[in-house]
Amino acid sequence: MKILLKSAYYLIFYFFVINGRIVWAADDFTAWKDIFYQEALKNGISRQTLDTYVPQMTLLPQAIRLDMAKPEYLQNFFDYTRTRVSDYRIMRGREMMKKYKTWLRRVSDNYGVPPEYLVALWGMETNYGSYMGNADMLDSLATLAYHPRRRRFFTGELVAYLKMLEKEPSVAPKKGSWDGGFGNFQFMPTTFQVYAVDGDNNGRRDIIRNIPDAFSSAANYLSHMGWTPNEPWGREIILPEKPDWGKLHQNETKTVYEWQKMGIKPKYIADFPQNEMNTKAQLRMPMGKSGPVFLTYPNFKLLMRWNNMELYALSVGILADILQNRMPRIDVPADFVPFKTTSIICMQEKLNKQGYHLGSPDGKIGIKTRKAIRSFQRDNLMDQDGYPNIELLNKLGCYNL
């Protein structure tokens, strides 16, 4: 019986694309809801809760479109930080640091997470609570649980959301992000279950309307992941005048002292602090030699676990540093031109054809693509920064496609 149910679970998803629009087969969604009902029962959801909410579940094709969307342009460091670490966000962040100074200090003392990181995450996630999402939570999670791409993950989130509706209805959100995040810090339902706390001891875990609860829950999450107090997320650095590209791009983790011996220096202070010398650090060049370069420390990996995207984690760290006046805002060069995703796919296809195997072209600059680029740059006597530039794309016949 379990085998039959599992087979049905993977066969019931059907949709058609007509003129760029997703058209759903409603009968299949109804069949999926019947199967989900039984699975949710096994996970401890009551029949009363399921009888109330499962019939209300409606497909939201927009959630699937957003989940599968491919940007026209490569999402690069400069464009990403220009909007997310804007002058307005910096100004508002400083205002929030002052407004909630007492609570931020109390939460920081309890969990070991500095106030500027909490405020930076808050700004990145919801622009300091000004926009927490307007998608129907039940429908979004049901749609993404129905869709096969990340079915297992979102089925777990949907079950967790139903448990919220059942056990903590006063704080369960009706609206959130299209991907199921909600509240000031955009917790997923499973994250709320495990890490949300009642920061002001009023008997509720309200991460939507209660700022102390929101701060405490975010700090609790980072603390349980292993946040190291009194250690930065990393530092922007200066490369040596003539880098040894082979050593700088092995994706290795070295101590700060070892990086320093290779000629790397911090950008905004004279020397690396002595207490950081034994800290394990990784070199990150999100724009190759044409952009800023960073050493990232263990806390950075926790920011990546919050959102598994390098540009996101870098932006949080940079915003936190700016809020504490540890660094200025990073300006976008006047002559900067972003590359189209089609140009990157073309580059990947050409590199594959020339024997620099990087897998299926997808328009993203991942580890395999960077390795292939470095090999091509080495073989063509270019600086091996592992990032596309006009010279490289032109050589491959892929610029501005």
Residue 249's pLDDT band, with cuts at 50, 70 and 90, is confident
Nearest CA to 228 among 294, 286, 280?
280
Q: Higher confidence at residue 79 or residue 315? A: 315
Section 193-201 average pLDDT: 98
Strand partners, 183: none
CB crowding 201-230: b at 16 or more within 10 Å, else e = eeeebbbbebbbbbbbbbbbbbbeeebeee
Instruction: Work out the burial of residue 363: count CB atoms within 10 Å of its CB; fewer than 13 is exposed, 13-18 middle, 19 or more buried.
Output: buried
Residue 255's pLDDT band, with cuts at 50, 70 and 90, is very high
- pLDDT surpasses 90 at 169: yes
C-alpha 214/C-alpha 363 separation (Å) is 36
Return the amino acid letter for 302: L
What's the confidence (pLDDT) of residue 177? 96
Section 204-233 average pLDDT: 97
C-alpha 126/C-alpha 124 separation (Å) is 6
What's the confidence (pLDDT) of residue 72? 66
Residue 11's pLDDT band, with cuts at 50, 70 and 90, is very low
Orientation of helix 310-323 relative to helix 298-306, angle to 10°: 120
What's the confidence (pLDDT) of residue 44? 95
What's the confidence (pLDDT) of residue 13? 39
Q: CA quadruple 243, 246, 249, 251: dihedral positive or negative?
A: negative
Give the per-residue SS3 of 164-219: HHHHCCCCCCCEECCCCCECCCCECHHHHHHHCCCCCCCCCCCCCCCHHHHHHHHH
- pLDDT surpasses 60 at 302: yes
Nearest CA to 114 among 127, 99, 97, 131?
97
Q: What is the pLDDT of residues 131-141, one digit of tens each?
A: 999 999 999 99
What distances in angstroms separate CA 315 from CA 5, 84, 85, 110, one per listed residue?
Answer: 44, 7, 7, 25
Dihedral over alpha carbons 159, 144, 211, 305 (to 10 degrees):
90
C-alpha 117/C-alpha 155 separation (Å) is 31
- pLDDT surpasses 70 at 20: no
Strand partners, 284: 294
Residue 166's pLDDT band, with cuts at 50, 70 and 90, is very high
Helices (H), 307-340: 310-323
% of the chain with per-residue pLDDT over 90: 79
Residue whose pair of structure tokens reads 């394990």 in the numeric block: 280
- Let me know: does 120 contact 319? Beta carbons within 8 Å: yes
What's the confidence (pLDDT) of residue 331? 85
What's the confidence (pLDDT) of residue 214? 98
Residue 18's pLDDT band, with cuts at 50, 70 and 90, is very low
- Let me know: does 293 contact 283? Beta carbons within 8 Å: yes
CB crowding 58-90: b at 16 or more within 10 Å, else e = ebbeebbeebeeeeeebebbbbbbeebbeeebb
| Average pLDDT, rounded, for the chain | 90
Dihedral over alpha carbons 59, 64, 65, 68 (to 10 degrees):
-170
Strand partners, 266: 237
Section 313-342 average pLDDT: 91
- Let me know: does 98 contact 294? Beta carbons within 8 Å: no
What's the confidence (pLDDT) of residue 333? 82
Residue 3's pLDDT band, with cuts at 50, 70 and 90, is very low
What's the confidence (pLDDT) of residue 73? 67
C-alpha 236/C-alpha 322 separation (Å) is 12
What's the confidence (pLDDT) of residue 244? 87
% of the chain with per-residue pLDDT over 70: 92
Q: What is the pLDDT of residues 30-58, one digit of tens each?
A: 999 999 999 999 999 999 999 999 999 99
Residue 75's pLDDT band, with cuts at 50, 70 and 90, is confident
Instruction: Work out the burial of residue 271: count CB atoms within 10 Å of its CB; fewer than 13 is exposed, 13-18 middle, 19 or more buried.
Output: exposed
